[in-house]
Structure 1
Amino acid sequence: MGEKAAQPRFSTDREANAWGGRTDGEGVGHLRWHQHVATALPSELDGAVALIGFCSDAGVLRNQGRVGAVDGPAALRTALSPMAIHERRPLLDLGDVVVEGDDLEGGQERLALAVAQALDAGSLPIVLGGGHETAYGTGNGLLRHAAADTGKRIGILNLDAHFDLREEKQRTSGTPFLDLAKEMQRQGREIHYAVLGISRPGNTKALFDTADELGVSYLLDTQCKLDESQRFVAGFLEQIDLLYLTIDLDVLPASVAPGVSAPAGFGVPYEVIRAVCQQVVASGKLAVADVVELNPRFDVDSRTARSAARLIYELSIE
């Protein structure tokens, strides 16, 4: 008998420790996420949901936003913990990538490695942010995973009030998709980037011009009725093979998501965002996702964390 293959070593900095909560019993019919999630690496990752925390405020601070997203991963785990298990899909927590001080670029590199490793192992990585600077690490992880197949059309669907296409001297929470677009251009890939929920008052004319130059498709928050949103997403999905879904919680109304860096003055209804999450899962094209900009310091009754946890739940159902 041959030697057993060594387990991959993931590029995270610490194990997660925020799982816990009510226990109704140990039988299959009683399980909640905190009882089902594995924090040690199982022998088989294929088909698992792999959670990766990205503890970072660096990009938000550089972007002159209100800090606190560094605590987002722990708050998301707490909100996920009591959710009931109805399907026994494996859940794995790979721990946290921690950005120390202003070392955003180092943290994004470690996140990209962890995401690529999780994808290579056959899992669905879901990254718990962190500010939207998380996206550069998540997106690069997918690009590395798909590096050998340049024929695969990679798409980025951003549920967000903002384009995050700023041109800056250093990476921030406002630059990740321009940074990723440049990386895709360097690799000779077509840029497929779509944003649902754009706030016209929240984005300058220069940002709309950049979006037009890059061929970005977008739907304004005022246009995000359920049918129109689903048509928009369906049209985008037809253009791609692999999807990176990124959810900036400031796409939601401030009444639903008060605990974010930049609360929305209008926002997209929660039921629309939830339906879009279900739609991308049903497409079979979802490769990786992240949920970002949760700021527990400004949350009310964990309202934002609970809303985000439900979206993660929807993404985790096969």
Structure 2
Amino acid sequence: MPADRHDMAAWNGRIDPEPDSPRWHQRIQALAGDSQPGVALLGFACDEGVRRNHGRVGAASAPLAMRKALANLAWHRQEPAYDAGDVLCADGDLEGAQACLGEQVCALLDAGHLPIVLGGGHEVAFGSWQGIAEHLSGQPAPRIGIINFDAHFDLRDPAHVHSSGTPFAQIAEDCAARGWPFAYACLGISRASNTRALFRRAAELQVLVREDREIREASLAAIGAELDAFVAGCDAVYLTIDIDVLPACEAPGVSAPAARGVSLALLEPLLEGIRDSGKLRLADLAELNPEHDIDSRTAKVAARLIHLLTL
């Protein structure tokens, strides 16, 4: 199940007459075998995990929506960016799609790129994990820090069914099987949306947890320092952003809109610290659902997050 090469048709937009005014659609290139290291956008066109988790489907069309929203944003990068195509989920074969995503992510990491995966439901996380785990598998027990901005732990018991609600429990099991540490930080958690069993599971796994109500202007410096310490103890960082961490008024087009959430203005400083840490190796964005978006509002938020992470 190789990644389908994107036809680049989504990459179009405004062209300004002034010199030095490029936009993303004028600079992004189709990935080639001899491409120099840069940012590589890889789509994961899948919402089978959301369907299995009884959520509202539609996230499979998110990679295209993110590309369209990003295309017209101003280009401020010095290094290149590439479109690496899409991994598709055919006939409900979530596990096959995740394995394919892992292979593609590993290949991008091996080639020196910074992969940014455009999900898809949050089942994307287990595929992303497989890629970075394979890339670092030659190291003895690497400590891969997973930082998840999300209203949900996604630590449900994977023994019943693999879905968008189980990826980090699956990762914890994979780490245990490999003899690797499981280092997981989850910020933006909604107490109303996570059962006591999930909070207990997070405590057992020693997850760094910050609830949505804890993330406010007055606490940003302290939470940023916590994240700095978390990152300092890791060999590499995998960042995953479930867009439903944002309030529904800022991100209405998601699989599970948040009644409260964490505003973009509060997320951005924390993301900048992770970006600038020197340890970020992989990022993905999940749960954008264009079928329920309003005026592409959520797609524009996702594009801004990609823009922020790639400055």
- 1:19 maps to 11
Which AA in structure 1 matches 2:107? Answer: Q
Tell me the CA shift for residue 152 of structure 1: 2.8
The yes-or-no answer on 1:155 pairing with 2:149 is no
Q: Secondary structure of the residue that 1:259 maps to in structure 2?
A: coil
- 8 Å CA contact retained: 1:158, 1:246: yes
Question: Is contact 2:252–2:298 with CA below 8 Å preserved after alignment?
Answer: yes
Structure 1 match to 2:30: 39
Residues 71-86 of structure 1: matches in 2 within 5 Å?
71-86=61-76
* Residue of structure 2 in register with 1:231 after alignment: 225
Partner of 1:7: none
The offset of 1:25, in angstroms, is 4.7
What is aligned with 2:293?
A: 299
Question: Alpha-carbon deviation of 1:313?
Answer: 0.7
Residue type at the aligned position of 1:105: E
Deviation at 1:222, TM superposition (A): 0.5
Q: In the TM superposition, what is the alpha-carbon distance from 1:236 to its structure 2 partner?
A: 1.4
Residue number in structure 2 paired with 1:68: 58
Contact 1:16–1:93 under 8 Å retained in 2:
no
- Separation in structure 2 between the aligned mates of residue 45 and residue 159 of structure 1, nearest angstrom: 30
Alignment partner of 1:314 out of 290, 308, 311: 308
Residue 203 of structure 1 corresponds to 194
- Paired-residue identity, %: 47
Cα drift, residue 21 of structure 1: 1.1
1:143 to 133, 137, 142: 133
SS where residue 283 of structure 1 aligns? coil
Matched AA of 2:94: L
Structure 2 match to 1:269:
263
CA RMSD, 1 decimal: 1.5
- Structure 1 length normalisation: TM-score? 0.93
**SS in structure 1 of the partner of residue 40 of structure 2:** strand
Matched positions, count:
306
8 Å contact kept, 1:196–1:229: no
Does the Cα contact within 8 Å between 2:24 and 2:75 map onto a contact in 1?
A: yes
SS at match of 2:222: helix
**DSSP-derived class of the 1:247 partner:** strand
Partner Cα separation in structure 2 for residue 305 and residue 68 of structure 1:
13
What do the CA deviations read for 1:280-312 (whole angstroms, capped 9, x no partner)?
Answer: 111101000001100011111111111111111
- Contact kept? 2:31, 2:40, Cα under 8 Å: no
- Measured after TM superposition, the shift of residue 275 of structure 1 is 1.2
Aligned-pair distance for 1:238? 2.1
Residues 141-163 of structure 1 deviation map (CA, whole Å, 9 limit, x = unaligned): 00000000124311100000000
Which ranges of 4 or more aligned residues in structure 1 deviate by more than 6 Å?
Answer: none
TM-score of the superposed pair, with normalisation by structure 2: 0.95
3-state DSSP of counterpart to 1:127? strand
Opposite residue 284 of structure 1, the aligned amino acid is G
CA contact (8 A) 2:50 2:163 kept: yes
